[in-house]
């Protein structure tokens, strides 16, 4: 799908949030105007009013599904939905409702999300994982035990998982890989979200990831990626938060980085056919293999 070093195939944002209190569907239109064709819409928790039971979670998930449908109808963009309870929600609710109930509620929320994946209203669960900030050793141990249970549930459902985790270089990949092994979930179904632009197998321990493609990321991607590495994708983690406009990265970013990747690939004297193959994998093949969803 290359045409004179221009990629004319699908352009997918692998992790984006949209919010009715923010730009909402207008952000999706902005993404499309820049060249975007598909996006994975990830459930965004309302930390000011966290769900108290499974019904609350179903209601919150329904709002995300409604947003996805609104985007489809008003923009023509293909949208895949990821639903799940955020690990920060679990950690915050411990002080309010206690460790046992917060853990129970988290698993109920995963169960509810899996009901939507079974109905194919969602393509996977997430973002689940563990808090990205320092917490007590006790809570850290509980977070890891809880994540094993979540991934076991995903394994039983054959669902893909997008993971929210801390940034601790290659060590994070190593420990997550160990946890997913204990749970029995395959690497092809375990995706680290908000990853650094280091795609070497040694750094990633063979795990899949979606790279937050800020400035300088394309050169780092091409410096570290080799054909045959584990799947990866490009994401913005766009928050659609009116208090933080453009955070984390704006909705135009993925189309812009796709153009940048094509330009850098050409500058390095690489074959156009190999670029075509790579972008086809990043935006289509790997996505279909991981989620059972075709972003066209």
pLDDT tens column, 42-60: 999 999 999 999 999 999 9
Identify the CA nearest to 105 among candidates 164, 48, 42, 57: 57
Q: What is the model's pLDDT at position 51?
A: 96
Give the end-to-end CA distance of the chain in Å, rounded to a whole number.
13
Within-domain flag for 28: yes
Q: What is the model's pLDDT at position 229?
A: 79
Residue 164 structural domain: 9-291
Q: How far apart are CA 284 and CA 296, in angstroms?
A: 8
Within-domain flag for 279: yes
The total domain count for the chain is 1
Q: What is the model's pLDDT at position 2?
A: 85
Within-domain flag for 296: no
Instruction: Return the SS3 of 56.
Output: helix
Within-domain flag for 129: yes
Within-domain flag for 1: no
Q: What is the model's pLDDT at position 1?
A: 85
Q: What is the model's pLDDT at position 227?
A: 81
Within-domain flag for 3: no
Within-domain flag for 115: yes
- pLDDT tens track for 128-141: 999 999 999 999 99
Helices (H), 34-168: 54-75, 87-97, 99-118, 137-157
CA distances from 106 to 8, 44, 102 (A): 41, 15, 6
> What is the reported pTM?
0.97
Q: Could you tell me the CATH number of the domain that includes residue 206?
A: 3.20.20.140
The DSSP secondary-structure symbol of 14 reads E
Identify the CA nearest to 79 among candidates 27, 150, 115: 27
In the chain, what is the greatest distance between 2 CA atoms, to the nearest angstrom?
A: 59
Q: What is the model's pLDDT at position 47?
A: 93
Residues of the chain under the 50 pLDDT cut = none
Backbone angles phi, psi at 131, to 5 degrees: -55, 145
Q: What is the model's pLDDT at position 101?
A: 98
Within-domain flag for 127: yes
Q: Which residues contact 164 (CB under 8 A, 6 or more apart)?
A: 86, 87, 88, 126, 127, 128, 129, 130, 132, 193, 194
DSSP E strands, 131-238: 160-164, 190-195, 208-212, 232-235
């Amino acid at each position: 799908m290359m045409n004179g070093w221009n990629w004319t195939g699908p352009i997918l944002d692998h992790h984006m949030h949209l919010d009715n209190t923010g730009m909402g569907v207008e952000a999706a239109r902005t993404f499309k105007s820049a060249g975007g064709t598909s996006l994975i819409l990830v459930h965004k928790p309302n930390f000011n009013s966290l769900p108290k039971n499974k019904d609350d979670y179903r209601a919150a998930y329904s709002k995300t599904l409604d947003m996805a449908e609104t985007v489809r109808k008003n923009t023509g963009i293909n949208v895949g939905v990821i639903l799940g309870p955020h690990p920060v929600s679990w950690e915050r609710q411990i002080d309010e409702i206690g460790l046992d109930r917060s853990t129970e509620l988290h698993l109920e929320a995963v169960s509810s999300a899996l009901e939507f994946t079974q109905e194919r209203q969602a393509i996977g669960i997430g973002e689940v994982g563990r808090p990205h900030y320092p917490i007590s050793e006790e809570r850290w141990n509980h977070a890891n035990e809880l994540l094993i249970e979540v991934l076991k549930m995903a394994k039983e459902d054959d669902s893909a998982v997008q993971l929210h985790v801390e940034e601790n270089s290659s060590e994070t990949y190593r420990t997550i890989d160990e946890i997913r092994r204990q749970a029995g979930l395959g690497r092809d179904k375990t995706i680290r979200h908000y990853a650094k632009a280091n795609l070497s197998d040694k750094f990633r321990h063979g795990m899949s990831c979606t790279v937050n493609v800020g400035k300088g990321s394309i050169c780092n991607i091409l410096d570290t990626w080799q054909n045959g590495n584990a799947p990866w994708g490009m994401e913005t983690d766009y928050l659609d938060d009116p208090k933080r406009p453009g955070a984390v990265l704006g909705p135009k970013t993925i189309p812009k980085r796709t153009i940048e990747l094509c330009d850098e690939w050409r500058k390095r004297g690489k074959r156009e056919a190999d670029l075509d193959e790579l972008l086809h994998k990043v935006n289509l093949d790997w996505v279909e293999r991981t989620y059972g969803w075709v972003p066209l």
